[in-house]
Structures are given as structure tokens and as C-alpha cells.
Structure 1
Amino acid sequence: MDLDNGGGKRVFTRLGGGGGGGGGHTQSSHMEPKVCFHWRAGRCNRNPCPYLHSELPQHSNSNVKRGYGNGLPDNNNNHNNNDRSFAGQGFARRKPNNSNQQVNNKWGRGHGGSGAGGVGAFRPPPKVQDKICHFWIDDKCSYGDKCRYLHQWFTSDSFTMLTQLPGHEKVISAIAFPMGSDKLYSGSKDESVKVWDCQTGQCAGVVNLGGEIGCMISEGPWIFVGIPNEVKAWNTQTNTDLRLSGPVGQVYALVVGNGMLFAGTQDGNILAWRFSATTNCFQPTAALKGHTLAVVSLVVGANRLYSGSMDNTIRVWDLETLQCIQTLTDHTSVVMSVLCWEQFLLSCSLDRTVKVWAATESGSLEVTYTHKEEHGVLALCGMHDAEAKPVLLCACNNNIVHLYDLPSFNERGKIFSKEEIRAIEIGPGGLFFTGDGKGELRVWKWSETAPA
């Protein structure tokens, strides 16, 4: 045992030796020495530590394994290292690969310099956990490449992050990428819409709207933005700027279907406008009533309008009659997002589930599958990867976006962020975009070839 001259007594005590001078207490002869659990994990910071910082020697004359808690007799007369007492104690990972070799209680001596008290210690490289390092996020991680947690914003071989577009001061609540445009639009609760040049990655303009942006979509040359008590509309080709009045409270959701613009509002109503070419403006058409709390998500598919609400329900509306034809009540918390995919409807909720709905023979929708998450689900987005395979992006309120293959729900990767990702949008050529609670907008791209 290597002891330094200056701290010999302290180091000897940490390794479980007998007492030293100066009033130190010796370890009672009837007490079994124990190995420090934190030392085994490589993170003991106690000095001195009352437990051993070395492995216990093997006792060939004993048929009982002591110090690890089970006290079961060993029926193996060879006393090899296949120690059953390790099972279930969290130490199985330390068992040598060759069970015929004796445990070396001087494990790693002479490799990698001195540890605490001058005892050399070799440890295998730390296993990188599937979890982002919060110290790295704040630029404060001192472990560098030796950190057992991730120092990157995603885990996947199927896509990569191209760039980050900083600028917003609050939550990014909406992203829009007009078809055929070279501009990307991001809306935030900082009351601004930023216009990004896709060629340079620079901010090409800022539009201050005087209210928090609750949602934003693009349809043809039009950009529609939901703010408190109104919808802003401007034509990117003619620079026409219109104001659609009527909503009460924040506008949380917008969608276009059957030649109409629909807006889900804070008071639970869904307002509809139709564009008039003769007047070059949008005329109020209808108000769809039924939800008892705010409408926070809208989607159109198969000549139906689907609305998700804070009242925990999804309502199905006929786009021709604008009448509610079914109310879905399977969720037990806020329905945050609804998505149409082929003949299926997908919905997510703060009840920690993603539900897949399909039509029965009678035409009504029923749940055919429920996918459970560990956290509440905030947003859904569907797209195809570089091989045209369907992928579901599922943003949860633990600051992680899960990417799943459909219909299997096998995980393809994860995206991490400093705060919740509320906005996800698809672009051309395998691009997609995410915006989080810190106001950080990131650009991602699917890999062109699948990993081997």
C-alpha cells in the first residue's frame, strides 16, 4: 500500500486500516469492513471517508460472502469470481470478463497516476448516458470529453443540426416556411416575427406586432399570425397587410381548409373567414361553438376539421356544414396537438400519451393505439426521412423531442434543448426546424444515406 508522508494516517483510515495516533479510533474487530459505494461509482468526495476505497480481499477459507448483503453460502468450491452476492447489488458491472481469474484487490495499480492518498487507480472510460449534461448547457462542465453525459444537442445517426439562429428573447411559439420561398419566419412571445434569409442564415427583418404570437402559418403567398384579439395577415408578394378582427383573447391555432381560414381562440370558439377576391379581404363566415375552454390546436384532413382544446376533448367538424359530428373524450388533460396522417388522426396531451385514431365502419373515430411517454406531450409533427420513411416528432415538456418510426413507434433519436420545444416546422429537402422556450431556433437536416 502506497502512502504519502504528509497524509499517511488520513489515507490509511480511508482505506479501512487500523487507528492512528492523536485520539483516532480503531475499527472494531467484530465489524465487517465495507467498500465505499460512491468510490465504486467513481464519485466519492468525502475526505476522510469511513469506508474502504479498495476491493475486499478474497477469503479462500470462507463459504459465506460477506460485506455485500445477501449472506448466501457459496457452493462453488473453487471460489472463482462468479460471485452471486454481486447480483442485484448494483455491482455486477464490475465483474471481470474472465470468471476464472481471482479478483485483484490492487486493481489498476500503476495505471494512470495517483488517486487520493497516492493510490493509483485505473477506471474504464465512463459510459456516456443518454442524457444531456446540464453543466455543458451552461458552459460550466469541467469534465470535458470524460463527462458521462452528452455534450451535444441530439442523439441520432439519421439527422444532424445545421445551425442555430439566435435572436428571440422569449419562447418561440410558431415557425413558418412558405413553399417556394427563401425566407423562414419565426414568431415569439417577445411580440415579434423574425424573417430569416435561408441563404445566409441572417435575420433579414423584424416585424413587431404589439402582442404575443400564439401561432403562425403560411398558405400560398399569405402569412397568418395569431395575436391577442385578432389575426394579422400579410401577402409576401404584394405586401398587403390585413387585420382580421373578431377573436376574444389569444389566438392559439390557425389552419386553412375548404377555402376558409380557421382560428382557435382563448374563449373556446373557432372563427372562420373566407377570402373575397372582389374586396381583396377576408370576410367573417362562421363561429364554431362547442368547446368550453381554449382551442389550442387545429388540423384539417379528409374534409374534416379537428380541434384540440384545454377542455381535454377533440371535436370533429364537417367542413361543408361546419357542424360538430363527434366529440372525442379519451384524453384526460389538455389536447396540445392534433395531426392527420393518411387515414389516421394522431393526438397528444399533457396526460403523457399520444393516441392514434382510426375510423370505424360507421365512420366514427376510435383509439387504435396509445403510446405512453414519461412526460406531458406538447407538440406533434410528421415528416418523412431521407428514405421517405414516416417519422413522428414528439416534443415533451422535459425539454426533449423524441423521433419515432411509424407505425412501430421505434425511437430514431432525440433532440435536446434548454427549455421546452413548442414549435416544429418542416422545410424542403429534408430540412426541419425547432424553436424552444429560450428563443433559440435550430435548423436540422436528415442524412441523405442511412447509417450502415
Structure 2
Amino acid sequence: MDVDGNKRVFQRLGAPSSAPNDSSKQKVCYHWRAGKCSRYPCPYLHRELPAPTSNGGGPKRFAEDSGSQFSRRGPNKFTGGSNTWGRVHGGNNTVRKAEKVCNFWVQGHCNFGDRCRYLHSWSVGDSFSLLSQLEGHQKVVTGIAFPSGSDKLYTGGKDESVRMWDCQSGQCILVVNLGAEVGCMISEGPWIFVGLPNLVKAWNTQTSAELSLNGPVGQVYAMVVGHSLLFAGTQDGSILAWKYNEITNNFEPAASLTGHSVAVVSLVVGANRVYSGSMDNTIRVWNLETLQCIQVLSDHTSVVMSVLCWDQFLLSCSLDKTIKVWAATESGNLEVTYTHNEEHGILFLCGMHDLAGRPVLLCACNDNSVRVYDLPSFSERGKIFAKQEVRAIQAGPGGIFFTGDGTGQVKVWKWAESSGQQ
């Protein structure tokens, strides 16, 4: 299932030097764009006009600050060093943002081959490569889980199924039909948690125990584990918490956190806090011990799709096309200290480390791409493409990571040994 890692972009040459020197040379040939210009010499350009340059101001900086390490989901630690955001390091790793995958190549019949001016690859950049593609889900993949110490991968989607994959063969070895769309999926220790409408399913991968956690109203869109509690964000805006009882071998209701006016779509735990992102455009900060809301962050202007903790910072992304970096002030409240702008709305954030231990941020955007950035510089390491939006990303062991898209396809990627800046 290995896929060729070569990633080259080919562009046709411009019009011959003998072409008339008039205003037509500043127009792109309509027939060339359609791939069927037969005129030679052609008086029009056989290349795209360069994009206008921008002289916008540089990114903001702020001084280094000390703080506790934040964790992402479950046991995964996502920590870093330097705190100077947006500082572009030297090197030639920046990837152009104009690349586009050839639609004919995707369909399996591009006649231009190496002469095609569009990408014949699912990624650009030399920091990672595609290992395999897992086919099976019929609709968008909404959750990917890789339990610690397991050699099985679990995926769930809106096709109402959970699939278990053998990591050695890449084959699907079990399909569980749930009869309802999977809204999210996480793993913690031996447990797999699956968010469904009005329900959370829990499976123990070691004992094969199966539990049903009742209480949610509507679809469960987000889950996280912290302080020995399982939190679930629901469609009605509440966050439910359960605590595992070892005596009864069951999860018992512990609390209900209310405050969001509509669905909670993202949760993360860090620095003795729970952070919840919602369709009401806000992030709520909850004390992990008292479970009381201690701050409401309202700087985003659209749905807060994902929240992530890194080092002493909170990162959040939104359909408003921004990633915001939050840091605590002397009073303890969080304030935006850096804003990274994208061309499209952002659906999901995932933090991990490359093989050299450098922190990397993967940002799934609603233009069917995933941007890969170094932290804290936000210098671009590469880009991943998909047929439809990527809605799930999960780190694995040994430099492996996974992406799941709207077609139901799960791709397996691996970081390169010498990826990144030296």
C-alpha cells in the first residue's frame, strides 16, 4: 500500500518569444486553461498571472513566560519550548499556497501526466509521506482513536459504524454497526469512547466490556478525559461528566456544566482547567476541581471548532478563518496574544511532534486541505490534500499520524527522518 513520495509541481511555459507584443500577452489563454489549445504560436499566455504582492505588517511577538505544561487529549503530551509566536525561522521549508490537486488525476485519467500543471500527489513538502489509505467508511470520518499499547486503530463516522483496523496488515478486521452517526471518538487507557445521539458508548479493549452512558441531549460532538472524569459536549450546549466506579465497573454521572447556549463541539483539558469551544462563538474556561465557569472568551466571530493546549498556551480555531493563541495575564485571565490568519475557515487542530521532537500543528481547513506548521513560528512545513474536508486527525506511535476525510477515507502518514529545519 506504499505510495510514491515524489511531490513535484509542473507548470507550462509561457507563450513563444515570437508571439505578438501587445496587450494579449497579459491575458491567459482560455483554451489552454481548458487543456485544449491547438494554436502555435498562441498570442495568449500559457501560464497563470502571478498573484499581487502584499506589503502587510509582520506578525506580533510577545515576551517569554513560564507556565505549566498543557496536555492534549488523554495521555498525549504536547509541549514546546520557545514562546515567540509568528517568528519565521530561516530555511527553505515554506510551501507555496497556490498548489491544487488535479481533478482528472483524482479520477484516474489525467492525459497530461508529468506535463500537468496541477499536483499529482496528496501532499506537498518533504517533511512527511503517505504510507497507505484505509478504505471502508462510506461517509465522513468523525473520530480516530489509537489506544496506548494497542496494535489496533479505531475509526468512526457518519455512516453509523466503528471500524477496527489491524496496524500490521492495514486490513479492517471488525465493523460495529451502531445505528446512529458517530459524532466523535477518543481513547483513554484501554477504553474507547464513542459519542452518539443521546448516548456515549464505552468499550474496554482489554476486557471487551461494553457500557452505555446515558444523559446527553442530542448528538455528542466532543469528549475529553481529565481529573478522573469523562467530559462530553452535547448538542444542547451542556457538558456532562462521568466518573468511573471500580467497584461497580461502571461510569456514574458526576456533574452537568451549563452555560453555552448551543452545541459544544470541542473540549480540551490543561492546567487544571477544562476549555470548551461552542457554536455560540465562545470558549468557556472551567475550573477542573470545582467545575465552575471562571471565564468566557469571546474574541472569535464564528463557531469555535477546536481548542488545543500547548505549553502554557491555549490555541483555538474558528470558521472565522483565524487561529488565536491565548496566554494568562498576571490576574490569571486568558487574553489573545497572537492571531494567525488563514484564507479559509478552520475545522480542527491537532498537535504532535515530528521525529526530531519539534512541535508541529496540523490545521484542517474547509478547502479540503490540512496546513502543517512549526510552532511557535507558524512557518509552513507542508500541506495535505483530500477529496473532501478532513474532520479527524490523530497522532500515533513512531512518527505515524492519521487523517480522516469527508469521503470516509483514512490516510496513514509518517514523518520523515530528517524533516524540518536543522
Indicate conservation of the 8 Å contact 1:129/1:148, yes or no.
no
Match of 2:135 in 1: 166
* TM-fit CA distance, 1:245: 0.3
Shift in alpha-carbon separation, 1:362–1:42, aligned structure 2, 3 A: same
Bigger CA radius of gyration? 1
Indicate conservation of the 8 Å contact 1:38/1:44, yes or no.
no
Residues 289-345 of structure 1 show CA distances to partners (whole Å, capped at 9, x for unaligned) of 000000000000011000000000000000110000000000000000000011000
Match of 2:159 among 181, 190, 207: 190
Shift in alpha-carbon separation, 1:129–1:308, aligned structure 2, 3 A: closer
Match of 1:154 in 2: 123
* TM-fit CA distance, 1:35: 5.8
Indicate conservation of the 8 Å contact 1:36/1:52, yes or no.
no
Shift in alpha-carbon separation, 1:38–1:361, aligned structure 2, 3 A: closer
* TM-fit CA distance, 1:40: 11
Match of 1:430 in 2: 399
Asked if residue 343 in structure 1 is aligned to residue 312 in structure 2, the reply is yes
Match of 1:330 in 2: 299
Tell me: higher relative CO, structure 1 or 2? Use CA pairs within 8 A at least 6 residues apart: 2
Partner amino acid for 2:320?
D
Match of 2:113 in 1: 144
* TM-fit CA distance, 1:450: 3.4
- How many angstroms apart in 2 are the aligned matches of 1:44 and 1:188? 37
Q: CA RMSD in A?
A: 2.6
Shift in alpha-carbon separation, 1:142–1:175, aligned structure 2, 3 A: same
- How many angstroms apart in 2 are the aligned matches of 1:161 and 1:48? 37
Match of 1:386 in 2: 355
- How many angstroms apart in 1 are the aligned matches of 2:247 and 2:293? 31
Match of 1:285 in 2: 254
| Structure-2-length-normalised TM-score | 0.79
Match of 1:175 in 2: 144
Asked if residue 302 in structure 1 is aligned to residue 271 in structure 2, the reply is yes
- How many angstroms apart in 1 are the aligned matches of 2:23 and 2:146? 65
SS in 2 for 1:247: strand
- How many angstroms apart in 2 are the aligned matches of 1:311 and 1:137? 37
| Structure-1-length-normalised TM-score | 0.74
Q: Spell out the pairing of 1:2-41 with structure 2 (5 A cutoff).
A: 37-38=27-28
Shift in alpha-carbon separation, 1:239–1:145, aligned structure 2, 3 A: same
Partner amino acid for 2:345?
G
Shift in alpha-carbon separation, 1:135–1:326, aligned structure 2, 3 A: same
Structure 1 unaligned spans of 5+: 1-14, 17-31, 56-88, 92-126
Count of paired positions: 355
Shift in alpha-carbon separation, 1:202–1:34, aligned structure 2, 3 A: closer
* TM-fit CA distance, 1:143: 0.8
Match of 1:271 in 2: 240
Match of 2:42 among 53, 58, 76: 53
Asked if residue 245 in structure 1 is aligned to residue 204 in structure 2, the reply is no
- How many angstroms apart in 2 are the aligned matches of 1:401 and 1:164? 16
* TM-fit CA distance, 1:131: 1.7
Residues 111-134 of structure 1 show CA distances to partners (whole Å, capped at 9, x for unaligned) of xxxxxxxxxxxxxxxx99622112
Identical amino acids, percent of aligned pairs: 66
- How many angstroms apart in 2 are the aligned matches of 1:382 and 1:46? 44
Indicate conservation of the 8 Å contact 1:216/1:226, yes or no.
yes
Asked if residue 414 in structure 1 is aligned to residue 383 in structure 2, the reply is yes
Match of 2:11 in 1: none
